[in-house]
Amino acid sequence: MGLSLLQVVLITALAYFKTLDLSTTQIFAFDTIIYGAITGLILGNFRLGLETGATMQLMSLGVAALGGASMPDYPVAAIIATTIAVTTGKGMAAGLSLGVPVGMLCINFDVLLKLINSAFARKAQSYVNKREFKKMNRLIPCMTLIYPLQSAVPVFLAIVFGKPVVESILNFMPKWFTVGLNVAGGMLPAVGIAMLLTYMPLKKYGYWLLIGFVLAAYLKMATLGLGILGIAAAIPTYRQLVAQNEMKKAERKNNLNEEDMEDE
């Protein structure tokens, strides 16, 4: 089964929308199962698309791009895997053999476009400093429209030309380029976490950060266990804050009542 021109356009547009939605509207975000199902619907095999998307969703559980980190693009992998599975008639296994490498390829595009995005941000900031706000407003949407190409281009190449082209792109990239992207990708999570820490009340609750670090780095506790422990630790603090708010409300009410009595 070959792809029609309309199907190629729709699937490529779906991949483009995936990243655009993640960066803007957040309607589906990283709901991998949704993109697999929609791809299956475009190709006339909704059930296989749903099954493939669900499989990729399970593969991505516990994986998150936190603090600016890059991760395999599982929704794109689901789009590719579903397309290959339906068009070749060889099922999900054949689709996953190409979908996962394309998802890995998107890591390099993601890091590259984040670096380009930083250049756009610095240029926009320079316009702000010069009070050239019209130029700033014209520049900012450009990156919003360029960024989704990290998904659309690999998907288009994969569904039109297949696995050999994707592997050729991976092999063609010089070592210095891929090493540079890996270094940059490794630095982004550290920078992102540092930015997040600036907004956290570390002076008051910083000891929990140290406890979590020891449990994760030295005792190798799983993410789920850390999450449950974090919830348990947060409950007393939450109850304390609720009690403090109730006391403040009661004090305000008493103060208002005293003021009313004085007025009378």
Question: What confidence score (pLDDT) does residue 192 get?
Answer: 59
Q: Model's pTM, two decimal places? A: 0.60
Cα separation, 107 vs 189, in Å, equals 14
Per-residue CA distances from 103 to 82, 152, 204 (Å): 13, 12, 40
Cα separation, 35 vs 14, in Å, equals 8
Question: What confidence score (pLDDT) does residue 85 get?
Answer: 82
Q: Cα angle at 65 between 60 and 67, to 5 degrees?
A: 155
Question: What confidence score (pLDDT) does residue 38 get?
Answer: 94
pLDDT along the chain (264 residues), means of 10: 84 91 80 91 91 82 60 83 81 71 72 80 88 86 84 84 62 64 57 70 82 88 87 89 87 73 60
Residue 75 and residue 30 in contact, taking contact as beta carbons nearer than 8 Å: yes
Question: What confidence score (pLDDT) does residue 40 get?
Answer: 92
Please name the amino acid found at residue 172. F
